[in-house]
């Protein structure tokens, strides 16, 4: 399966490019948690997760061809 990931603001540091867009391949279906692990994102750092524009948590399953948007944890300011 293949998913498209958009890493936003400080999560771009996990990306190979400035735009923060990654194409992730995986031999089988995966959850958001597994995707974050694959991207090497420190647990707790990605706090707002959208899959195909729907807000989900880490347990959500990702279908082939999905677009995943990740935003960093934020509080205060």
Partner 1 sequence: MLMAIGYNGKILHVDLTTKEIRVEEQPEEFYRKYLGGPGIGLYYLLKEDLPKVDPLGPENPLVFAPGLLTGTMSPCVPRYTVMCKSPLTGALGKSEAGGFWAPQLKQAGFDAIVIKGKATEPVYLWIENSKVEIRSAEHIWGTECGEAEALIRRDLEDQRVQVALIGPAGENQVLYAGISNGLSHFNGRNGLGAVMGSKNLKAIAVRGTQAIPVADAAKMKEIFKWVGQETKTHPLSSALNKYGTPAGITTVNAGGSLPTNNWQEGVFDKAVDIGVEKLNEYLVEKGGCYGCAIRCKRVIEVKKINLKVERRYGGPEYETIAAFGSNCGISNIELVCKANELCNRYGMDTISAGMAISFAMECYEKGILTNEETNGLELRFGNEEVLLPLLEKIANRDGIGNLLANGTKHAAQKIGQGSEKYILEVKGQEIPMHDPRVKTGLGLQYALAFNGADHWFAQHDPFFTAKDSFGNQSMALLGLSDPVGATELGFGKVRLILYTSYLVFLYDMLGACALGFVARSVVPLKKAVELVEAATGWETSLWELMKAGERSHAMGRMFNSNCGITKKDDKLPARFFKPIKNGPLDGKMAIDEKAFQEAVDLYYEMAGWDTENGKLSRGKLFELDLQWLI
The angle subtended at Cα 38 by Cα 8 and Cα 45, nearest 5°, is: 45
In DSSP terms, which residues pair with 50 in a beta bridge? 55, 69
Alpha-carbon distance of 41 to 15, in angstroms, equals 10
Quote the least distance from Cβ 56 to partner 1, whole Å.
10
- Identity of the residue, 1 or 34, whose beta carbon is nearer to partner 1 in the bound complex: 34
DSSP structural state of residue 15: S
User: Counting beta carbons within 10 angstroms of the beta carbon of residue 39, is it exposed (0 to 12), middle (13 to 18) or buried (19 or more)?
Assistant: middle
Q: What is the x/- site pattern for partner 1, positions 7-46, by CB under 8 A?
A: -xxx--x----------------------------xxxx-
Examine residue 69 and tell whether it contacts partner 1 (CB under 8 A).
yes
- Identity of the residue, 23 or 54, whose beta carbon is nearer to partner 1 in the bound complex: 54
Which residues lie near partner 1 (CB under 8 A)?
8-10, 13, 42-45, 47-48, 50, 53-55, 69, 71-77
């Amino acid at each position: 399966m293949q998913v498209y990931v958009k890493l936003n603001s400080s999560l771009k540091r996990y990306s190979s490019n400035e735009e923060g867009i990654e194409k992730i391949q995986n031999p089988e279906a995966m959850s958001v948690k597994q995707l974050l692990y694959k991207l090497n994102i420190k647990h707790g750092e990605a706090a707002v997760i959208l899959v195909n524009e729907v807000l989900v948590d880490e347990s959500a399953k990702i279908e082939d061809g999905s677009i995943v948007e990740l935003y960093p944890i934020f509080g205060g300011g």
